[in-house]
Structure 1
Amino acid sequence: MINSSEIRQSDFRGELIQPEDPGYDEARAAFDVSIDKRPVLIARCVDADDVARVVVLARKHKLPLAVRSTGHNVAGYAVCNDGVVVDLSCMNAITVDPSARTVRAESGCNWGEVNDALQPYGLAATGGFVSITGVAGLTLGGGLGWLVRKHGLALDNLLGAEVVLADGRRVKASGHENEDRFWAIRGGGGNFGVVTSFEFKVHPAGTVLAGIVLHPAGAAAGAIRRWRDLEAQAPSRPSLVPYAACNPAKPSSPPR
């Protein structure tokens, strides 16, 4: 069992949460409410140094390590049983460079926050159909979003990242620095380190037309065939996404 004083003595600056603490159940909850895992320690980090301290501690005690950015992953990878959770939700700084058309986002950000930061400059990022989806999980998993047809995936627009390695070292990965690590986090699989921040190329965006066309369930087959045909012929500018949902009896309730 980890003694939280051990990590506090290492100058950890964030918040430590263990099973006996009042906020434990809330801190271990994931976006998917069916996920019910109980870590021995949740470490809410405030910077990359905090992350490095937690990674080293988990390695020392040979405990499983889960990395939580926004907790949006439906498989529940953001939390683990009998291990340590590196919680990055407090690391949500965003820096926009409008002249270079880049944005740097820490791993606790979601795409809505990034879009809000870019909008005053008339810029947009390529990641995320849903605003509450985390920047980190979506990017490291590929990164489909509304601009994918014109500008590619989130990982196609990734310029660089800061990564904490298993031994606690902090490195930068890009196309000209630690290139193998950069390749790895851009779709090479998992367990190459904890990414604490991302730098993306972003793109000019003017007024965007968006909307939903609703069809009854009985017309679903024909509607999807029509969508397929439109996708095959559509130019690169529009993104068309099919979505099937069971709507509630009361329109004010969310879809199931």
Structure 2
Amino acid sequence: MVFKRSIYKSPAQLRLMVAPGLATAASLDAVRDALVAGVTTLQLDELAEQAIIAAGGMPNFKLEHGYHHTICSSVNDEVVHGIPGSRIVQPGDIVSIDSGAILDGWNGDSARSFVLPDPARPELVAERQKLSDVTEQSLWHGIARLATAKHLNEVGEAVEDHILSQGEYGILTDYIGHGIGRRMHEEPPVFNYRVRAKGPEVKPGLVVAIEPMVVLGDPETYVKDDGWTVATEDGSAAAHWEHSVAVHKDGIWVLTAADGGAAGLAPFGITPTPIA
């Protein structure tokens, strides 16, 4: 007889997921503070690794077969899974950084997008900043829905509704969010758009990584010759935002936000509750 592993964590397991979430957030803070024109994506990778180690963790992306870096750094038309290297970040670039940490056998996973200033191209910067803002806000709409949802796939409805209300944007459907825990990628799938199925019940113990990926043009993508980097077919810019979020008996807690998601959820009238 085959027993299916439950997707729900115990209160003790949820508590163990707080530290890797904070280590992941620290790595992204380190990247944010160092991200200026002229820096290489490999330098950002090194800073992210140092931050995770300083927090007592290890980079979990390095545990993915064939991957050897702490972060994924995706620039401009690259949506996700970009490999850090000698590429120099330029003014006006939109840079998406995905990072994760493992600590005591438990995982964190989060992503943010950053737009570098470029006084020579203010319209380009404004367009890309709005793309990033729309993507980030769609993430918070999804997290806010998780706080009240009966079933997980309500999250995708909230994400899609916000994105479509903001203009003509493309939502990736080939890449979605996921459960997270002992492994970085677990069941259940977390969609960023409407699906017919309801998905699993939202109840204490559910931990998911919600991660909308949005583009300025057509959402069709391809994988570059390096076998990892996913880029848009039409060359349009992309943004990626992600948080790992836990549902517990007293509410929700954004594991990869230092404040548990308080600032992001405030506009929705939701106060996250620490995991007891």
TM-score (norm 2): 0.27
* Higher relative contact order (Cα pairs below 8 Å, separated by 6+ residues): 2
- Larger gyration radius, structure 1 or structure 2: 1
Bigger fraction of residues in strand: 2
